[in-house]
Structure 1
Amino acid sequence: MESFFPTQRRPNSALAIALFALIAVAGLYYVKWSPYYHRAFVAADTHSIGHSILTGAQASPPAASWHAALDYASAYAKAIWQALVLGLLLGSAVQTLLPAHWVARVLGSTGLRSVAAGGLLALPGMMCTCCAAPVVVGLRARQASPGAAVAFWLGNSVLNPATLVFMGFVLGWHWTALRLALGALLVFGGGWLVNRHATSAERSAALAQLDAFAEAASHQGNRFARWLKLLAQMALRLVPEYVVLVLLLGAARAWLFPHVGPEVDDALGWIVAFAIAGTLFVIPTAGEVPIVQAMLSFGVAAGPAAALLMTLPPISVPSLAMTARALGVRVQALLVLMVVATGVVGGLAAVALHF
């Protein structure tokens, strides 16, 4: 199997590795594993995990305004801020606390094995697309292959085990089956397709960059100081644009979803429109479940609802902005096309299966 990277060992700090493991395990337990475990019982008992963040208790999104922008940004921030902090901690720690070639050994090859590893490593993370984005940036800085990074990114939200359980209790297990089948195809097939589009020049550049990075790291000072410095740099670079884009999308909800009612039927035009809107919009982890539940209760047909179920979690305008440098325009364009196509296929499948 062809690989971007050599496999020689580099000196490593046991303390730095232990700190990385502590942040990952303790952080995920506090932010994700424990809360979602308890929420699963709520979903089973009440068949709900809360109101739709898109519309609240209303039958349609509010008109575009700064008030709508601030309301959405506030609700969104309350839902994700802890996970975003954890994502920044892990994204910077991957680049400074782990030995230079560790990520490349596991995720650096151009074949399906690295893609599978990226997708499987995502399962414990269970992060939304924006909170996982800093980790994707860190993985690419350590020269994970584009396909493995994409599989990790998409797998966090699309194959989130907690979300799949919530979905089964709230929407029905047939919705979970649809999401799991198409989600696995998007995560692993999409990652493989991205790697297939990597050129030999990109492979050579990745190898040279990794060697240069490892050599530079061996001559730099305290890795804990470098970690804190990089953490501050990532926060200052990623968070401001993220906040601005979330505000704009919050204000534009009424434009992205102008109709939420019985008029939204199973016509192909509606399925495509909702697939595109879902790809652009940003939601917290599992936010698609109450959104789809609300859409169905307002009379939206199963086809457009299924398109949203597949496209709301994987990517969004803010997360694309956060990963633009790490993945590049060509990979991101392919990614957008794959997500929209998956949404359309999901919508048509829901219609054909009489959801």
Structure 2
Amino acid sequence: MLFLVVGLSWSKWMPYWDKAWTLSQTSVWDGSPLFEAAGETFSLSGAWDFTLVYFTAVWKALLVALVVAAAIDALVPRDWLRRVMNRRSHTSQSLVGAAMSLPSMMCTCCAAPVTAGLRGSGVRRSAALAYWVGNPLLNPAVLIFLALILPWQFVLTRLVVGLLIVVGASALIGRWIKGRAEVVPEQSLEPTRFSALPVRYLRSLSKFTLILVPEHLALVFIVGLISPWLSGVYGLEAQVGGFAVLIAALVGSLLVIPTGGEIPIILALSAVGVGAGVTGALLIVLPALSIPSMVMVGKSLGWRTTTAMGTAVALGGVLSGAVLVLGS
């Protein structure tokens, strides 16, 4: 608990309070879309610049995520964690996971190590899924930022569609997909000596860091390398009509952004005339998932589960775009 409170205060709560206060005074988002760092053409230097800008934005949250994930894996009693999160119904599990995601307010990639730690401790699939996607989609700070910057329809759509994905899709996926990944590991009957806990924690922290950080770095670099091809949605509606919403939902699910990174992208697209369908889809899919986050949780959640959630998020993006088009 100490790791969580101190880490989140430093990386999330205090910075977001300052950001919300500034937005309430200015109503102007300070910052440009992340994908501008990658440039407009394929280049290694653009991919490296993209990677540097991304990790400059998320390094604090990523550090806290690794510390918390290791604490869950090494220090938190697994039987206690299971009692809290492994409720009888899949819906109850999803609700608990969603509730636990609210204070951590991480982006999807930073939530991935914690999700892996939860699964490794025996937390069931629906609860872990809800925690993973609940962090970016139900982030209270981002909802406040949206309310201060964008029309109210965006805030309401994000909240409603976010709940459908976080609670509804997580429960359905947990109910439908069964297999080896849902097996709960046995709790060791031998009590762990207090003197052994520091070594156990450092071993767990090293494991998460050595596996997930290089993987994360490489995948973000690859996304930065190909993002000039993926992020060009200007004029897409004029070329393919309503299919632009579907394309935006599919492509946006692959791209990586820091917490709140969807806001400057939506503002920039709206300023050049991109419609509510595309921006509405990106409102959901950009924060919810990315290639790096899906790869980082794929082994712990199971690849079928991860793919199912990716599909649910893309469909949620299409729904969000349709709702905002009808409401505009």
Shorter-chain TM-score range? over 0.9
Per the alignment, in what secondary structure is the counterpart of residue 23 of structure 1?
helix
Please give the per-residue CA displacement for 1:166-225, whole angstroms capped at 9, x wherever unaligned.
Answer: 01111122210110010011100011112212437765x32xx233xx236648970221
Task: Note if contact 1:266-1:302 (Cα within 8 Å) is conserved in structure 2.
Answer: no
2:106 pairs, out of 118, 123, 127, with 127
Per the alignment, in what secondary structure is the counterpart of residue 222 of structure 1?
helix
Please give the per-residue CA displacement for 1:25-61, whole angstroms capped at 9, x wherever unaligned.
Answer: 011011100010110022222223323333449xx95
Unaligned segments of structure 1, at least 5 residues: 1-20
Q: State how 1:84-163 maps to structure 2 within 5 Å.
A: 84-111=62-89, 112-163=91-142
Unaligned segments of structure 2, at least 5 residues: none
Per the alignment, in what secondary structure is the counterpart of residue 284 of structure 1?
coil
For the residues of structure 2 that align with 1:230 and 1:127, how far apart are their CA atoms? Answer: 21
Is 1:239 the counterpart of 2:213 in the alignment? yes
Task: Note if contact 1:265-1:303 (Cα within 8 Å) is conserved in structure 2.
Answer: no
Bigger fraction of residues in helix: 2
Is 1:182 the counterpart of 2:161 in the alignment? yes
1:106 CA drift (Å): 1.3
The corresponding residue for 2:172 is: 193
Is 1:71 the counterpart of 2:71 in the alignment? no
The corresponding residue for 1:271 is: 245
Aligned AA for 2:142? T
The corresponding residue for 1:210 is: 186
Is 1:51 the counterpart of 2:31 in the alignment? yes
What TM-score results when the alignment is normalised by the length of structure 2? 0.94
Is 1:225 the counterpart of 2:199 in the alignment? yes
Q: How has the CA–CA distance of structure 1 residues 264 and 101 changed in structure 2, closer, same or farther, with 3 Å as cutoff?
A: farther
Identity of aligned residues (%): 35
For the residues of structure 2 that align with 1:319 and 1:216, how far apart are their CA atoms? Answer: 34
1:325 CA drift (Å): 1.1
The corresponding residue for 2:20 is: 40
For the residues of structure 2 that align with 1:307 and 1:85, how far apart are their CA atoms? Answer: 30
Per the alignment, in what secondary structure is the counterpart of residue 143 of structure 1?
coil
Q: How has the CA–CA distance of structure 1 residues 201 and 317 changed in structure 2, closer, same or farther, with 3 Å as cutoff?
A: closer
Is 1:293 the counterpart of 2:267 in the alignment? yes
For the residues of structure 2 that align with 1:80 and 1:200, how far apart are their CA atoms? Answer: 34
Task: Note if contact 1:151-1:188 (Cα within 8 Å) is conserved in structure 2.
Answer: yes
The corresponding residue for 1:17 is: none
Task: Note if contact 2:266-2:283 (Cα within 8 Å) is conserved in structure 1.
Answer: yes
Task: Note if contact 1:88-1:231 (Cα within 8 Å) is conserved in structure 2.
Answer: yes
Q: How has the CA–CA distance of structure 1 residues 216 and 134 changed in structure 2, closer, same or farther, with 3 Å as cutoff?
A: farther
Q: Number of paired residues?
A: 327
The corresponding residue for 1:325 is: 299
Per the alignment, in what secondary structure is the counterpart of residue 259 of structure 2?
coil
Per the alignment, in what secondary structure is the counterpart of residue 260 of structure 2?
coil
What TM-score results when the alignment is normalised by the length of structure 1? 0.87
For the residues of structure 1 that align with 2:191 and 2:118, how far apart are their CA atoms? Answer: 16
Task: Note if contact 2:170-2:309 (Cα within 8 Å) is conserved in structure 1.
Answer: no
Per the alignment, in what secondary structure is the counterpart of residue 323 of structure 1?
helix
Deviates more, 1:194-203 or 1:317-326: 194-203
1:348 CA drift (Å): 0.9
Q: How has the CA–CA distance of structure 1 residues 110 and 50 changed in structure 2, closer, same or farther, with 3 Å as cutoff?
A: farther
For the residues of structure 1 that align with 2:257 and 2:292, how far apart are their CA atoms? Answer: 10
Is 1:257 the counterpart of 2:231 in the alignment? yes
Task: Note if contact 2:177-2:304 (Cα within 8 Å) is conserved in structure 1.
Answer: no
For the aligned residue pairs, the C-alpha RMSD in angstroms reads: 2.0
